[in-house]
Structure 1
């Protein structure tokens, strides 16, 4: 395939969630509400941690603030475009816009996965080595770990883009989804993509699956260790680990389903995509704040101060 054909596709058509105009209107108001709640919930966590000195200096809340920021960015990469397509007849995205959406989608998503992994490490140190916690999880270490997660996200996303940008696209140009993602885009390439798919699955799917398994093992170890703690500390540690485990499950299970298998289209794909691109970023702040007395107290203090 020559280079001319590779640049023939100038835009992609996103088929979206439904062809029914009535259903699209329902989806618009539903997902607009979810997106606003996502902004409100994650924004509130970021503001609370930033303005509360005690939370800001605690590694767990510093990482939680970073996670909320990534959730906010992650949702913003796809949801606004989806909302605009639900109320317009022009459901297209330029080739460059599609590639940019893929890059930032995988950048924010992989950064979030790395932060969740760091949060598991933070909990392990806090529960298993409490006397050395402040020394190991110093403020400088937290910043280095946060920067490393961002760097890891950039490397992961750039690797994806290097693979996909070398593919020729000469038609068709319809994507059966509400945003650009690799499994759908790669199927439109005018060449055999078997090797690229294997590399993509190795880069995204297997790495995600391995991280998920390691996190499950680490939280299992933590839950076993918690049994030896005193009642009050046990209850608090158990609540924290349960919150983390719920978020890890919500983030990792859909990603493993989408990326740790050959790129074939299944009926449940759109539903799973909605779960981890729209719903999960809204649920994360609810899970962390509703089960966390320190966060709720800090939010009340900030509300009382502002009033």
Structure 2
């Protein structure tokens, strides 16, 4: 579990730091230039972190399923070696899925040098091209929607299985199970709710201004990264006690 929390923390750091410095520079400092290579690198890093956020949440749901369904065999099933290997495979898979984006973008002729959004993501770069962007949007949208709904339904099925196990059990441990899964449920909601809100807005034909789109995107990027550390720090007893112990050590002597 702690290895998976560390992986989620690394993903959140990459997710926010890949876009936040540029957004701060554009929105606050007025720094409105970026090199083409740096822009492509930022796009790749941002979308790898975006995909890894889904994978990290899905594998943490799997971790909860094993912990609740097979509590006595938990440490023998999810060993440290297997957890690290699974995490490594997910990072490689995320990079492979996202690698299609720079391949498509590099081949495009660009007629505009100004991005509509405050940082370099795939949609912003494609909109600078001279060609009709529909094909390039549709291709990546199919991949993104597949990953989004696959991971979401995997998490949903995981919790349905957990509910089934709890109802099947003779012991009344529903409150303990709910407490165990609450942290993960909060983190899942913080990531998937903004994603589905954007999808619903798009499907119903609601036209958002550039400022509204940027605000929704910034909230979707920074929201999980801000909430996740607080959730796991205050909901996980061992981490909370460790932090309190550090603060007690550094407390000044009066």
- TM, length-normalised to structure 2: 0.86
Q: Distance in 2 between matches of 1:280 and 1:118?
A: 17
**Higher RCO (CA-CA < 8 Å; seq separation 6+):** 1
**Contact 2:183–2:232, Cα closer than 8 Å, also in 1:** yes
1:1-307 equivalences in 2 (<5 Å): 60-171=1-112, 173-227=113-167, 228=169, 230=171, 234-258=174-198, 266-267=208-209, 268-305=212-249
**1:179 Cα deviation (Å)?**
1.1
Cα deviation code 1:82-135 (max 9, x no counterpart): 222234333122222211111000112212221111111111011112232111
Q: Distance in 2 between matches of 1:202 and 1:134?
A: 37
Cα deviation code 1:142-166 (max 9, x no counterpart): 1101111211221122122212222
Change beyond 3 A, Cα 1:236–1:289: farther
Q: Which residue of 2 aligns with 1:26?
A: none
Q: Distance in 2 between matches of 1:116 and 1:273?
A: 19
Q: Distance in 1 between matches of 2:125 and 2:31?
A: 19
CA RMSD of aligned residues (A): 2.4
**1:182 Cα deviation (Å)?**
1.6
Change beyond 3 A, Cα 1:305–1:149: farther
Q: Distance in 1 between matches of 2:207 and 2:107?
A: 22
Q: Distance in 2 between matches of 1:200 and 1:126?
A: 35
**1:272 Cα deviation (Å)?**
1.9
- TM, length-normalised to structure 1: 0.72
Equivalent pairs counted in the alignment come to 245
Gap runs ≥5 in structure 2: none
**1:306 Cα deviation (Å)?**
5.5
Q: Distance in 1 between matches of 2:198 and 2:129?
A: 19
Cα deviation code 1:172-204 (max 9, x no counterpart): x33222211122221221112322222100111
Q: Which residue of 2 aligns with 1:32?
A: none
**Contact 2:51–2:147, Cα closer than 8 Å, also in 1:** no
Q: Distance in 1 between matches of 2:46 and 2:163?
A: 33
**Contact 1:208–1:256, Cα closer than 8 Å, also in 2:** no
Q: Distance in 1 between matches of 2:207 and 2:52?
A: 26
Q: Which residue of 2 aligns with 1:55?
A: none
Q: Distance in 2 between matches of 1:159 and 1:81?
A: 23
The 3-state SS of whatever aligns with 1:93 is coil
Q: Which residue of 2 aligns with 1:46?
A: none
